[in-house]
Structure 1
Amino acid sequence: MQILAITAGAGAMYCGSCLRDNALAAELLARGHDVVLVSVYTPTRTDERNVSRHEVLLGGISVYLEEKIPLFRYTPKVLDRLWDAPGVIRAATRRAVSTDPATLGEMTVSMLRGEHGPHRKQIAKLLDWLRDQVQPDLTILPNSLLIALAGPIARATRRPVGITLQGEDLFLDGLREPHRAQALDLIRQQVDTVDAFFAVSELYAPHMARLLAIPAEKMHIVPLGINADDFQRRGARGRDLVRIGFLARIAPEKGLHVLCEAYQRLRARSHGLPTMRLEAAGYLGPEQRGYLAGIERQMREAGLAAEFRYLGELDRAGKVEFLQSLDVFSMPATYDEPKAFSVLEAMASGVPVVQPRRGALSEIIEKTGGGLLVDPEDVDALAEGLRRVLGDPSLAERLGAAGYAGVRDHYSTARMADRALEAYTAVIGRRSDARPEGRAYMASSLE
């Protein structure tokens, strides 16, 4: 099977979607399938061997310039190559580029206009590359924000196009009006140009089907998977100091402030528990520095400054070491998190987790048995869940063992690839040569 997998780079950040796309492509390549993984906007950053192609499509600098300065929509390709070079894009994004949806509404809508918008030159360049480089049996787009590529790619290849659904609803919800409504309308108008959608969890599929008006027959489930080989069970630990850990992008929706508040309440009722420390790690974007500073200030005011540490962003070796140092893990996301890679990685390390009962977190813990579920948006319940695990070593051992085995049984890269191949084969098999050609309706909807 020849697959063109397009993945969306996130600049200097380790991105969960990039990690997932790269892990799946690597597993399919290892099985002998012909997979071309190529990024759009920026090169991808992964903590495992990166199997993506060197080139970048829809170069982020070009897209930005075309959005802001109309002259660049007409520059020749020889000039575009200067700022489309991966090294140039890396240099431009090294200082971190904001991905805050509140500031990206116009560009999001422009990209969703596709061939009828200001970035038609970028789509033409992508199609030229496609004709020269690959003849896929199936093309996979990384999220519905790139749905405007589906029709042009399908017409160029006369083969099916699918889209992975893996968390873009959070971005869409962060858009300001009228851009959110416009973006949703444009996505819904183009659902018919897509052969299949691949949701990363069973609970996420119906949510996205409702949000984007996706017919049930187009929805497939390809669950998450991680390479668990590097994550080994932690050895026996003393009880002089216990560590509670958090690993995720530092942002309000990931819930570090919730965990810090739960920690404060836990410390207030920690009679009989050992000395504790709360340690957090993850990417910190420039727009979230004030958020982290506020958390540190609250911990100081509670007299717990010495018990909180932010360790920065970790590479894979650092992540493995960090997780193996923990006694319990929590990432109390404040929305229906569809991926939760760090929760899987913590359980793969034999660390018990305490999570709110929402989104993919519920599904993951119910399948693996690797943690406790508590009521969402209930800080006292989270504090009590942490207390139960820390206060009962036998419970912690049972949860840790179940999570260690459960991730390998249900959320391995091998299992993810099995489900992906089942879905991809079904989509390719039922694809006919007939395909809707008309997309002129887009031109009149918002212009």
Structure 2
Amino acid sequence: VKITYITAGAGGMYCGSCIRDNALATALSARGHDVTLLPLYTPTRTDEENVSQQRVFFGGISVYLEQNVSLFRKTPWLLDRLWESPWLLRAVMGRGIETSPNQLGALAVSVLEGSHGHQRKELDKLVHWLKDQPRPDVLDISNSLLIAIAGPLKDALGCPINCTLQGENVFIEGLLEPYRSRAKELIKSHLSHVDSFVAVSDYYAAYMTQYLGIPGAKMQVVPLGVNTGRFVPTGSSGGEAPFTLGYLGRIAPEKGLHLLVHAYRNLRERGALEGCRIELAGYLDQEHLPYWQSIEREVETWGLAEEIHYRGELDLDAKTSFLQALDLFVAPVVYDDPKGISLIESMACGVPVVAPRRGSFTELLERTGGGVLLKSGSAEVLEQVLCDLIGDRDRLIALGRSASEGVRDRYSTDHMTTRALDVYERLVR
């Protein structure tokens, strides 16, 4: 199958969707399929070999200039190449690119207006380039915020189109009004141009069917997958001190890091966590720096600075080692996460997970048996579950074994690729 996959860069951070798209493209290519992975906005940042094209369409600088200065909506394409080069986009990424939804409402709506928006020239460039390439059998768009390109590309290429759904409702709900309502309205207006939709979890398939009014017959599920040849148990679990709790994710309030820190402090005050520590890692942007600084101040005040360590953003090797060194992984999110890739990576390493019973986490832990689901997201409930698990080494070992086996059986890259290929082959029959 010849597949053109359009993915969206996320500025300078490792992006779960970018990593998933890149892994899928790599695996499909390894099976002999012809895959072109095209980035929009910025070059993608992945933790494995990046197989995307060097050229970036809808370049973040061009999109910004066209949104704010009408002159740039009419500049010659050749001139635009000056600020569309990957090296310049990477340089800007290094300084930080705004990705917060509360700052990007007008721009998001304009892009969703497609040929009627300020970025029409960028759409024309993409169509022109694709028409000069061999026609794909199927085209995949990596999230519904890009859905405005579906109609023009279908007209130009005449191929079926799939749209993958990977958590964009969180961005949409973060938009200020009237942009939030307008964005949803525009996405719905483009649904008819898409032949199928793929959600990354059963939870998200049901949610987005209702949220956007997607016909149920068009919705399918391709669960996330990880490299089970890389993320493997080390077999070293045996009660060695110190007992290590781990957190891997963006440092942001919705990820619930504060709940973990507060639960840990309460347990330490009870004398229940002697010889323990917390290892933290993940992307921290400027917007959430005050949140992290408030946690740091609390940790210092409590006298726990030597027990709670932040390792920053990790590359693939560092992330693998980080996860393999944990005794228990905690994902204390306070929203309905549709993905849970870090949970899957942790479980693949044989590390059991504690997470709230919400979003995709419910199906991940129920299907693998690789952890404990919290009845509520309070620090008190988390505190009690941690206390029970830390004192039960046999249960932790059993959960870890179920976790790694469950991921191999259900959430491997190979399994994800087979499911995605089934979707594509149905579209081209």
The TM-score normalised by the length of structure 2 is 0.98
How far apart are the structure 1 equivalents of 2:270 and 2:208?
A: 41
- The 4+ residue runs of structure 1 with deviation greater than 4 A are none
The amino acid of 2:286's aligned partner reads: P
Deviation at 1:266, TM superposition (A): 2.3
| Structure 2 partner of 1:124 | 124
The amino acid of 2:26's aligned partner reads: A
Q: 1:331 touches 1:343 (CA, 8 Å); kept in 2? A: yes
Deviation at 1:53, TM superposition (A): 1.1
The amino acid of 1:126's aligned partner reads: L
| Structure 2 partner of 1:319 | 319
Q: 2:237 touches 2:397 (CA, 8 Å); kept in 1? A: no
| Structure 2 partner of 1:439 | none
How far apart are the structure 1 equivalents of 2:367 and 2:283?
A: 28
How far apart are the structure 2 equivalents of 1:113 and 1:99?
A: 19
How far apart are the structure 1 equivalents of 2:329 and 2:237?
A: 17
Question: What is the root-mean-square deviation of aligned Cα atoms in Å?
Answer: 1.1
How far apart are the structure 1 equivalents of 2:103 and 2:376?
A: 29
How far apart are the structure 2 equivalents of 1:114 and 1:301?
A: 52
The amino acid of 1:17's aligned partner reads: S
Q: 1:4 touches 1:134 (CA, 8 Å); kept in 2? A: no
Q: 2:154 touches 2:161 (CA, 8 Å); kept in 1? A: yes
| Structure 2 partner of 1:141 | 141
How far apart are the structure 2 equivalents of 1:344 and 1:268?
A: 32
How far apart are the structure 1 equivalents of 2:269 and 2:346?
A: 26
Residue deviations 1:142-177 (CA, integer Å, cap 9, x gap) = 100011000001001111111100000100110011
The amino acid of 2:244's aligned partner reads: R
How far apart are the structure 1 equivalents of 2:30 and 2:133?
A: 21
Q: 1:362 touches 1:373 (CA, 8 Å); kept in 2? A: yes
The amino acid of 1:95's aligned partner reads: R
How far apart are the structure 2 equivalents of 1:219 and 1:236?
A: 41
How far apart are the structure 2 equivalents of 1:338 and 1:51?
A: 25
Give 3-state SS (helix, strand or coil) of 2:309's partner.
Answer: strand
The amino acid of 1:16's aligned partner reads: G
How far apart are the structure 2 equivalents of 1:387 and 1:239?
A: 17
The amino acid of 1:259's aligned partner reads: L
| Structure 1 partner of 2:263 | 262
Deviates more, 1:232-241 or 1:192-201: 232-241
Give 3-state SS (helix, strand or coil) of 2:202's partner.
Answer: coil
How far apart are the structure 2 equivalents of 1:262 and 1:167?
A: 28
How far apart are the structure 1 equivalents of 2:228 and 2:89?
A: 31
| Structure 1 partner of 2:189 | 189
The amino acid of 2:147's aligned partner reads: I
| Structure 1 partner of 2:104 | 104
Give 3-state SS (helix, strand or coil) of 1:278's partner.
Answer: strand
Structure 2 counterparts to residues 142-157 of structure 1, below 5 A: 142-157=142-157
Deviation at 1:388, TM superposition (A): 2.0
Structure 2 counterparts to residues 275-290 of structure 1, below 5 A: 275-290=275-290
Q: 2:9 touches 2:44 (CA, 8 Å); kept in 1? A: yes
Structure 2 counterparts to residues 292-311 of structure 1, below 5 A: 292-311=292-311
| Structure 2 partner of 1:94 | 94
Residue deviations 1:44-69 (CA, integer Å, cap 9, x gap) = 11111111111111111100110111
Structure 1 unaligned blocks of 5 or more: 430-447
Deviation at 1:238, TM superposition (A): 4.1
| Structure 1 partner of 2:77 | 77
The TM-score normalised by the length of structure 1 is 0.94
| Structure 2 partner of 1:434 | none
Residue deviations 1:381-439 (CA, integer Å, cap 9, x gap) = 1112222221100000001111111111100011001111111222222xxxxxxxxxx
Deviation at 1:232, TM superposition (A): 2.3
Deviation at 1:284, TM superposition (A): 0.8
| Structure 1 partner of 2:241 | 240
How far apart are the structure 1 equivalents of 2:414 and 2:270?
A: 43
Structure 2 counterparts to residues 18-417 of structure 1, below 5 A: 18-234=18-234, 235-271=236-272, 273-417=273-417
Deviates more, 1:101-110 or 1:223-232: 223-232
How far apart are the structure 2 equivalents of 1:422 and 1:165?
A: 17
How far apart are the structure 2 equivalents of 1:79 and 1:7?
A: 24
The amino acid of 2:60's aligned partner reads: G
Structure 2 unaligned blocks of 5 or more: none
